[in-house]
Amino acid sequence: MKTDELIAAMVADATPGPSVGLLAARWFLPALALMGLAVLLVLGPRADLTAAMAVPATAMKLVLPLVVAAAACLAVLRRAHPEARAGGLIWLVILVGGAAALWFAVTLSGLPPSQWWAAAKGQTLLFCLVAVPVIAILPLAVLIAVLRAGASTAPRRSGALAGLAAGAGAAALYALHCTEDSPLFFLSWYTLGILVVTGLGAAAGGRWLRW
């Protein structure tokens, strides 16, 4: 190889590709939007969506997972750079989780124990537990692929955050269809669905985000 060809090849290798954040904006957000469209077309929005979202308690089943999804997504994108820190965003997720747990406990205390399970299980428990992970699969796969362009020093933790972002985003999308408005229902089963996706993300990160 001639000297000028070697130099050109070295320069090409040294040219940085798109940032992880740019890749996420280019691929992860459209993946979420695509799954949102699928929810609206396949499952359909709840008939009283506008009126339901005007009720603060009901709106929280959309707002809370959206906050978690945004914080987890920003945190995992920061963790794709070894020198970056995401402590504040992690604490935001913990704060939202703590607020949700407190809300759950207060709601539970207002009901007699004989009504706890009936209020929590609703009519669509199994469907919810299947729907949230299914909606999250494509966004999670895309986010894991995006993170491979980074350099995370904790692949399982980064994968778990990716799963948390995808799972919470999926829960928010599912809320557009879900008619279960009891806080005991969505605080229980949305959370469980999100945790399932978080676990899948941790496993995927351990496999595909190692250097």
Question: pLDDT tens digits for 63-122?
Answer: 999 999 999 999 999 888 776 677 788 999 999 999 999 999 999 999 999 999 999 999
pLDDT at site 84? 67
Question: Using CA of residue 37, residue 42, residue 43, residue 44, what is the dihedral sign?
Answer: positive
Asked whether residue 4 carries a pLDDT value surpassing 80, the answer given is no
Q: What gap in Å lies between CA 149 and CA 43, rounded to an integer? A: 34
Contacts of 77 (CB under 8 A, 6+ apart): 20, 21, 24, 150
H helices then E strands: how many in the chain? 11, 0
Q: What gap in Å lies between CA 191 and CA 102, rounded to an integer? A: 14
pLDDT digits (tens, 9 = 90+) for 26-66: 999 999 999 999 999 999 999 999 999 999 999 999 999 99
pLDDT digits (tens, 9 = 90+) for 181-211: 999 999 999 999 999 999 999 999 999 998 7
pLDDT at site 5? 56
pLDDT at site 12? 45
Q: How many residues does the chain have?
A: 211
pLDDT at site 20? 85
Token readout for 88 is 């504040």
Looking at per-residue pLDDT, the higher value among 166 and 17 belongs to 166
pLDDT digits (tens, 9 = 90+) for 138-175: 999 999 999 988 878 889 999 999 999 999 999 999 99
Q: What gap in Å lies between CA 210 and CA 199, rounded to an integer? A: 17
Say how many C-beta atoms besides its own lie within 10 A of residue 157's C-beta. Answer: 19
Asked whether residue 11 carries a pLDDT value surpassing 50, the answer given is no
pLDDT at site 58? 94
CB half-sphere exposure, 101, CA atoms < 13 A: 7
133 close to 170: Cβ distance less than 8 angstroms: yes
pLDDT at site 151? 79
Burial of 124 (0-12, 13-18, 19+ CB in 10 A): middle
pLDDT at site 202? 97
Of 95, 211, 75, the residue nearest 155 (C-alpha): 211
pLDDT at site 45? 97
